[in-house]
Structure 1
Amino acid sequence: MSLAERNLEPADVTQEAEGRWRELLQPDALVATVTLCLGVALFAFNEFFVSTALPTAVAEFGGAALLSWAFTLYLVFAIVGGALAANLKARFGARSTLIAAALVFVTGTVIATAASGMPEVLAGRLLQGLGEGVIAAVCYALIPELFPPRLVPKVFGAEAIVWATAAFAGPLISGLLTEYWSWRAAFFVNVPAAAIFIALVVAIVPKPQQGGSAAGSIPLLRIIAFGFGILLISLSNTAGSVYATTALLVAALAIFVSTIKLDRRSPDAILPFNAFAIGRPLGTGLWVVLLMPLAQASGSVYLVYALQRLWGFGPTAAGFSSALMAMSWSATAILVASLRSHDFRVQLIWTGPLLLWLGLIGLTLAVGTGEHRLVFIGQIAIGTGFGVSWGTLSQLLMDVSSIDERDRTSTLLPTLQSAGYAIGAAVFGVTANARGFDEGAGDRVMSAALFGVFALGCVVAAAALFFGIRTLRLMRRRERAL
């Protein structure tokens, strides 16, 4: 009997709603918590390790023109892996899927570590992305399977701690390894971490029961279409003109819309049936999951550059703004996870997009007025917005999904988050370039371009707020109907 099943036996309903942090430290929960957090850590630390070490690898191989592809291929195949995850889990079981994905990730890491040129690095990054996309998605799907509902917020809080640790320690560790040893060491450190992850998976993830429901065929054409759409979005960042970028984005949008319509009619769907339906809490909640990181991408792409260019901050001081956002995200996530009332946590969901919107208004005003202190206030508000809503919203979307579709919903969450950042980077790139963003532009033109970027981010955040409020209204209507 799993930990979730033992804790869901008829007992004290009040206790079921409360949960305690110390329960995650009990022997039967601790290993499961560490396993899922390590799966997140592989993704988080790898992102920070590679972003710090790659420039040195590029300098060694002389492949500067291929630098962006190292990130593009990783992102595209991470999203493809996430799209595959639910089907692979249904077909082979979570245990076998995670082990296989970890081995793919390790293979990619070894190829990149031993590379003698940029083509091998790119091949390694492709495999890393594919493996990590599956791992992150399946780890999300395992949360409601391995833990009772009362502990799910605590698990999301623990994962927030992992992200904050990665944001701080990742660049530091990778920088030290790269500077005093080799960029290859920064890549290779993922191998022992993956080995530990595989051992923990073997220890805690149960083998699939015989006689379970048969999985459908793998929808390769739709997965390829989704991946191609993301590739077009990534390519739009390197297009030579605003018109070419816009054309690529429009083509990607057309692919997504047609593929989603086709997916809804398929018996082997990738997405849950009500995905993005504005009349269902699952659909509107998924819009929030997409739009919040899309809006925040305006800051993640351009804020550090703005601090250095417009206000003369050094790299470390400018990077502190990102660390400030990560700290506020994690601190708030821990506080919210400690609240004993699940209903109260749900009622706070709409405040997440609200704080994101207010934070982006702060960034817009900072650029418009030249007051850099608004940047740090805005970053705190943005991080707090994610911390107050992200874990609870993720749990809510899992809860409103049917049992048959819960895996599809769970695996979609990290995939949709990555897609939001990718789309946001492209959209804000078009906005900045259209307003004259260029390395040689003057400060006035640069300010105008960044003002447009953050102002558009405010519009996207306002849309996320609309869907957040609508999600709660639809939930109340759903509860009255039950």
Structure 2
Amino acid sequence: MTLCLGVALFAFNEFFISTALPTAVKEFGGAALLSWAFTLYLVFAIIGGALTANQKARFGARNTLIAAALVFAAGTIIATLATGMPQVLAGRLLQGLGEGIIAGVCYALIPELFPPRLVPKVFGAEAIVWASAAFAGPLISGLLTEYWSWRAAFFVNIPAVAVFIALVIASVGQPKRGAGAVGAVPLLRLFAFGLGIVLISLSNTAGNAYGTAALLVIALSVFITAIRSDRRSPHSILPSCAFANRSALGSGLWVILLMPLAQASGSVYLVYSLQQLWDFRPTAAGFSSALMAMSWSVTAILVASLPSHAVRVRLMWTGPLILCLGLIGLTLAVWSDEHRLVFIGQAAIGTGFGISWGTLSQFLMDISSKEERDKTSALLPTLQSAGYAIGAALFGVTANAFGFDEGASDHVLALSLLAVFALACVIAVASVFFALRTLRLARPGAAGCN
């Protein structure tokens, strides 16, 4: 319950805020700052995730979770009582930092608190939380915003935080290691990772494709430099084999990054395309997102029920493959002007994540050394968020290069979406390659860290 509520804070908050925030913007003005409310949350969630292992080792899981929950609550109160967009942005910043740490610690606690046979069921339970958030989040937030106030949709997080803190006190033990067990907080590398995400977010606001591409290249350079610097540090943020060419862990982390990156194509453009190309109403168009979440949850539960861990691992590579098939379905839907393929594609995408996500997460935790397991566990939700951010920017560049615009004709819109989903298919193919490579490198004697 504690771990699922930690995930629920993130999941429900995402849907609460996305539904209620436009109303706050109308009250305060400052529509130009709307995107920053999401950008700052994402940037500091990723920074918080990168900081998780350091803080957990220094203060213990219980103290870190309580402190992060209080930071999240402080951000929620600031945003709820805001009198203008600057206070909303400050609140969102603190929400992101607190939730990034909460998500990272909750992932890190899974292999500590549960035996291996129960870990898949924990991931299945968390998939149910996400599906519930996809269905109930917009509904609850919409009703609160429409019949009471957008502030109520923000403040509803506070009772959940109070329950979460009580559960943490009851179920998470005191730290076994005292302060001073780790090095100083790597502020420069944290700043570099945050700067990279900011540059990616800014690329979406660039005036032309060249400016956008330039910002993405700079962001990539920042990430590469930061990762190389981190590998040389005695107190690294990332696992030592992160993204390494000849490491099962390195290849597996590429899958964790590339799958949500590919799926971001649908998250950003699918609902819009259903409304513009096929005249779907918002509710009907939003059903496609709920269908993906429902498919993910049902499949995750079925996979978690398999008695053999070895079978789950052997099936792991099929998740990216089914994701790729689902994205091909979205591409064919636009190409053939057949909207029913969208729903088949979305169901396949959710199935792909449901088959592989929990198993891959457990697999990467298991193959990490005991000393670096916390770093690996905390990195998983952070990479997922980074994948969505990078995907949104990359597909934005692609769509704009093909003439995507609010006033574009249906032909131009369809051409832009074809390019977006085709690129997503290529990225999904890369995730299949890395998934197969992960299984091959995990064989005894095959793994290295080069």
**TM-score, normalised via structure 2 length:** 0.98
Distance (whole Å) between structure 1 residues aligned to residue 102 and residue 445 of structure 2: 32
Give 1:75-474 correspondences, 5 Å limit. Answer: 75-210=42-177, 214-474=181-441
Unaligned runs of 5+ in 2: none
Query: Per-residue displacement from partner, 1:421-480 (whole Å, max 9, x unpaired)?
Result: 000000000000000000011000000000000000000000000001111111234589
Is contact 2:127–2:300 with CA below 8 Å preserved after alignment?
Answer: yes
Q: Which runs of 4+ in 1 moved over 4 A?
A: 210-213, 477-481
1:216–1:234 Cα change, 3 Å: same
Is contact 2:440–2:446 with CA below 8 Å preserved after alignment?
Answer: no
Distance (whole Å) between structure 2 residues aligned to residue 349 and residue 159 of structure 1: 18
**Structure 1 residue matching 2:442: 3-state secondary structure:** helix
**Structure 2 residue matching 1:476: 3-state secondary structure:** coil
Letter in 1 for 2:106: C
Q: State the match for 1:15 in structure 2.
A: none
**TM-score, normalised via structure 1 length:** 0.92
Q: Aligned pair 1:60/2:18, yes or no?
A: no
CA shift at 1:211, angstroms? 5.7
Q: State the match for 1:40 in structure 2.
A: 7
CA shift at 1:162, angstroms? 0.2
CA shift at 1:215, angstroms? 1.1
1:334–1:213 Cα change, 3 Å: farther
Distance (whole Å) between structure 2 residues aligned to residue 188 and residue 201 of structure 1: 21
Distance (whole Å) between structure 2 residues aligned to residue 210 and residue 376 of structure 1: 50
Distance (whole Å) between structure 1 residues aligned to residue 179 and residue 300 of structure 2: 36
Count residues in correspondence.
448
Distance (whole Å) between structure 1 residues aligned to residue 150 and residue 373 of structure 2: 40
CA shift at 1:213, angstroms? 7.6
The share of aligned pairs that are identical, in percent, is 77
More off after superposition, 276-285 vs 384-393: 276-285
Letter in 2 for 1:380: A
Let me know the Cα RMSD of the aligned residues: 1.2
Query: Per-residue displacement from partner, 1:352-387 (whole Å, max 9, x unpaired)?
Result: 000010000000111111011110000000000000
Q: State the match for 1:476 in structure 2.
A: 443
Distance (whole Å) between structure 1 residues aligned to residue 444 and residue 324 of structure 2: 26
Distance (whole Å) between structure 1 residues aligned to residue 214 and residue 177 of structure 2: 49
Query: Per-residue displacement from partner, 1:118-172 (whole Å, max 9, x unpaired)?
Result: 1110000000000000000000000011111110000000000000000000000
Letter in 2 for 1:443: D
Letter in 2 for 1:473: R
